[in-house]
A and B are shown apart, each in its own frame.
Chain A
Amino acid sequence: MTETTYRIQGASGEWEVVIGLEVHAQVSSNAKLFSGAATAFGAEPNSQVSLIDAAMPGMLPVPNKECIRQAVRTGMAINAEINKYSRFDRKNYFYADLPQGYQISQLYHPIVGEGSLTIEADEKAGIPEDKVIGIERIHVEQDAGKLMHDQHPTMSYVDLNRVGVALMEIVSRPDMRSPAEAGAYVSKLRQILRYVGSCDGNMDQGSMRADVNVSVRRPGGELGTRTETKNVNSVRFVMQAIEHEASRQVDVLESGGKIVQETRLFDPNTGSTRSMRSKEDAHDYRYFPDPDLLPLILEDAFLEDCRASLPELPDAKKARYENELGLSAYNAQVLTADVDTARWFEVLLGETAKAAGKAPAEVSKQAANWLISELFGALNKLGTSLEESPVTPEKGGALLALIAKGTISGSAAKQVLEIMLETGDEAEAIVEREGLKQESDTGAIEAEVDTILAANADKVEQYKAGKVALFGFFVGQTMKAMKGKGNPQVVNEILKAKLG
């Protein structure tokens, strides 16, 4: 394996960065992990708080099966070992955003064990080859509430809406060696979660955030002391935090200092990290099995259901796009990057094939090219996204079928798309209204060609004598005579036949 050669050049030589990530991903479910309260983002403070979330006396947690299911499906998607026996533990500490005085988590027996994902080679980013990143475990746990310090001059307010929301903590092995690899890992993980549907991956809403563990060492040497930078909430920030933290550690070490094992905070405004608390002030969390909850025993039937419900995952989909649909690696990559794009593309492809009466593989390249170069470009100009596109994949498929059947030309299709984006009308109606149909009837085209050839007998002679460049002249004349509506492919074929 060609290792990444990302190195920090210090005054005393090269340093290697070792990175591990703990990603907290909010489970997509309508209700919290142990209470029936809702989980919608952006609701009025304290409007989604059950008696359980508020830790009223005598309240008890009951596991939400959907959250468990999503964690299991996620584990399956990273080819991880699923633990049929897992257990919830209490992590005890006092804070105003934690009504119970403990977080229910899984320290000793997580639901998902060892797994992995592959980040793809990206020369430009300094990732020379595909690289497998180990994932140590996934466990489910409760989120905490949110303190608001800007609502009152002397008091802090607390919003308990997030209290008890289900999180998956996805813990990687310290397998990453550069900010780019870490960025690629987070992106890939996000991609998989969105495919599985277990997390919406909205990092800006806090649905996914990373604790970044960084240490530096001499290349290949002993592991250094690590620091953990908490709650970094974008791929770019993860990369920035690593860059900053690694250089800081190198500076400390080269000036004769020691790295303190500590928790740090990332400041997105400055791109730097700062100390939050050191190991000495670390809490003793007094983990112990939650006596309100029985061990979680997963039945085979449940696991089978989870597995059966898994969609085609990004790596498999990309391979299929290349191998079965004949798409370029680049196009396959673009189309599978996000589950919504892939879903859009597959509806488009299906509709195109159906409307054109062809096999998907026959229209796949056309559909891929159109989506990537035509529609993405047009949406970009309009400043909108695929999700909000006025052209649905069904309507796009109908348009592409018109091209595939030769009803309209490629250039006419561009016109039609523009009108579709403006009006949302169906392609066929636009073609009809605007008179953009092209002539594919061989009889009609033959008649036109015969007329042109007869009128230009001299040029026909020259052509036959070897001046083949005149072919374009005949095409142009024919198209002109047909007011641009002749199917160029048919025109070409007929001209070739007639000219011999």
Chain B
Amino acid sequence: MTELTELGVAAIRDGVKAGDFTAVEVADAFNANVAAAQEALNAFIIATPEKATEAAKATDARRAAGEDLGKMGGVPIGMKDLFATFDVQTTAASHILEGFKPQYESTVSQNLWNAGAGMLGKLNLDQFAMGSSNETSYFGNVISPWRKAGSNAPLAPGGSSGGSSAALAARLCPAATGTDTGGSIRQPAAFTGTTGIKPTYGRCSRWGVVAFASSLDQAGPMARSTQDCAIMLEAMAGFDPKDATSLELPVPNWEALLSADLSGKTVGIPREYRMDGMDAEIVALWDQGVAWLKDAGAKVIDISLPHTKYALPTYYIIAPAEASSNLARYDGVRYGLRDLPDGANLQDMYAATRAAGFGAEVKRRILIGTYVLSAGFYDAYYTQAQKVRTLISQDFAKAFEECDVILAPTTPTAAFALGENVDDPLSMYLNDVFSVPASLAGLPAMSVPAGLSKDGLPLGLQIIGKAFDEQGVLNAGLAIEQRAQFTAKPEKWW
């Protein structure tokens, strides 16, 4: 049955519907892969095979009864452990939430279950989604299934959705949820040869998703094809009255409207993304992408996004500022970890609990955020960053007067080795240099696998679209996918 785990969302959905195999067979196959890879890859914080089986049985029963199976009927997925799942431990990969079992279900995960998907387990991630390598997880880092040619050194699967990307590449799931605050879907997708889209801010409800930076956090699908992402995004998205920032718009039929014909479309190439000392492989890949999109019928033009170089510092003010406040609720009073030393008063309990419960990167960002919001610094940092954020949005708005989508690399390099950047937060933060601007502007952006580096590691191209135009992004993604013919997968060593 192992070949079932090679299938993606569309193939499983269609196969179950056609009766080529049962949903339970699919769930069994993926459950087995999850269990077999857990020790080596650490992609899941917990596996929930019984949930996957239960959903599969329900799908098979619905099929037997001749009922509609839903957009994701029979598809087992991995759930990033940032989404609250009813009575199933939800940790955000932190010690402070270890053992926490929400008595509620996030809107996005509920939407997926309603669409017929089942849960294989809760995927590992960077702690509170803060990181680009999965090394900040309290539950140990995820190991990428990819290895450099001729090397056994463990590589980063990207972050923060590194459990999701590793599980996809290793065929532990056909699709997984991700969340993207500054690149957390796109960068891990690029590092693992998988596909992921961050939709327009507000497309997917944030209700029940552990918050990192509220004005940036956005859930999205990760899978192994553009079509699979389109299907899953349709299932995840939708207006949610419980989220005041949710978009009150109907969910388009992205899958049905997929088209790789880009005739009449204009693709913008931002000159500011072409940086000094940029990896030649990345430059070549980008040029290749331009050629593919031209081949698909698009006109390609140069555009300017003049405030690009301020995006990263802006992001690293706004995101920590919001995080410092969002994470204040983890105080040991009502749920999660409580560290109450002998004779401790309330302040002592806060200090002890948070010292023990948060990892170093989380603490770093809380400190940065607290600093930039404090009296005397607020205007110089936070207010200024908000102004720059507006300028960055205006850059995009102006560029989109001339083009329909923007093409850029997803990351400046291929996957790096675990431990390579761990002591240097700044070079770690540089990983987000191409992904952060779209996050700040709330725009849809996706990463599509486009080729391999000379070391045999996947590289991704990024497409950024206009607000609400996920279709344009997906279509350009499909055009690249069809031309790149990316079929590489990691050789199984686990």
Query: A residues touching B (Cβ–Cβ < 8 Å)?
Result: 51, 54-63, 90, 92, 94-96, 99-102, 156, 158, 284, 286-288, 291-294
Contact = CB atoms under 8 A, between A and B. Distances in A.
A397 to B, nearest CB: 47
A101 B373 CA distance: 15
A58 B373 contact: no
Contact of A94 (B241, B350, B382): B350
Contact of A101 (B321, B331, B375): B331
Given A57-B97, A58-B206, A58-B209, A288 B90 contact: no
B331 to A, nearest CB: 6
B272 to A, nearest CB: 27
Contacts of A58: 83-84, 102, 106, 206-211
Contacts of A92: 324-325, 328, 373
Q: Is the interface of A mostly helix, strand, loop or mixed?
A: loop
A293 B245 CA distance: 6
Residue among B106, B241, B245, B329 having the largest count of chain A Cβ atoms under 10 Å:
B329
B188 to A, nearest CB: 21
B244 interface: yes
A99 B335 CA distance: 11
Contacts of A284: 374-375
A156 B346 CA distance: 10
A261 to B, nearest CB: 15
B100 A57 contact: yes
Contact of B329 (A57, A60, A61, A96): A57
A49 to B, nearest CB: 10
B469 to A, nearest CB: 21
B105 to A, nearest CB: 10
Given A60-B242, A61-B244, A101 B215 contact: no
Residue among A90, A101, A158 having the largest count of chain B Cβ atoms under 10 Å:
A101
A94 B370 CA distance: 13
Contacts of B28: none
B335 to A, nearest CB: 7
Nearest to A63: B244
Contacts of A101: 325, 327-329, 331
B355 to A, nearest CB: 14
Nearest to B318: A291
Residue among B83, B322, B333 having the largest count of chain A Cβ atoms under 10 Å:
B333
Nearest to A54: B334
A102 B330 CA distance: 12
CB-based closest 6 A-B pairs: A101-B328, A291-B214, A286-B373, A291-B215, A55-B329, A58-B208
B243 interface: yes
A465 to B, nearest CB: 93
Given A57-B84, A292-B244, 13 more contacts: A57-B92, A58-B84, A58-B102, A60-B207, A60-B243, A95-B346, A101-B327, A284-B375, A286-B325, A286-B370, A286-B374, A292-B214, A292-B245
Interface string B356-375: 00000000000000100111
Contacts of A63: 244
Interface in B204-224: 206-211, 213-215
A54 B334 CA distance: 8
A282 to B, nearest CB: 10
Contacts of B347: 94
A339 B212 CA distance: 48
Contacts, number: 97
Nearest to A285: B375
Contact of B213 (A94, A95, A287, A291): A291
Interface string B230-248: 0000000000011111000
17 contacts: A51-B103, A55-B334, A57-B100, A57-B211, A58-B106, A59-B207, A59-B208, A63-B244, A94-B331, A94-B350, A99-B333, A101-B327, A286-B378, A287-B373, A288-B321, A292-B244, A293-B245
Residue among B100, B103, B207, B209 having the largest count of chain A Cβ atoms under 10 Å:
B207
Contacts of A293: 244-245
A96 B244 contact: no
Interface string B415-437: 00000000000000000000000
Nearest to A34: B244
Contacts of B104: 51, 56
A294 B245 contact: yes
Nearest to A90: B325
B329 A99 contact: yes
A333 B242 CA distance: 47
A62 B242 contact: yes
Nearest to B240: A60
A213 to B, nearest CB: 21
Contact of A102 (B102, B328, B370, B374): B328
Interface string B332-355: 011100000000001100100000
Residue among B92, B328, B350, B378 having the largest count of chain A Cβ atoms under 10 Å:
B328
Contacts of B92: 57
B140 to A, nearest CB: 21
Interface in B173-190: none
Contacts of B370: 286
A250 B10 CA distance: 81
A327 B245 CA distance: 54
Interface string B78-113: 000001100000101000010010111010000000
Contacts of A287: 373, 378
A221 to B, nearest CB: 30
Nearest to B128: A57
A335 B48 CA distance: 69
A287 B92 CA distance: 26
Nearest to B376: A284
Contacts of B214: 291-292
A90 B326 CA distance: 10
Nearest to B214: A291
Given A99-B333, A291-B214, A294-B244, A57 B90 contact: yes
A250 B210 CA distance: 53
Contacts of A158: 333
A60 B97 contact: no
A158 B331 CA distance: 14
A51 B106 CA distance: 12
Contacts of B374: 284, 286
Contacts of B333: 96, 99, 158
A284 B100 CA distance: 31
Contacts of A59: 207-208
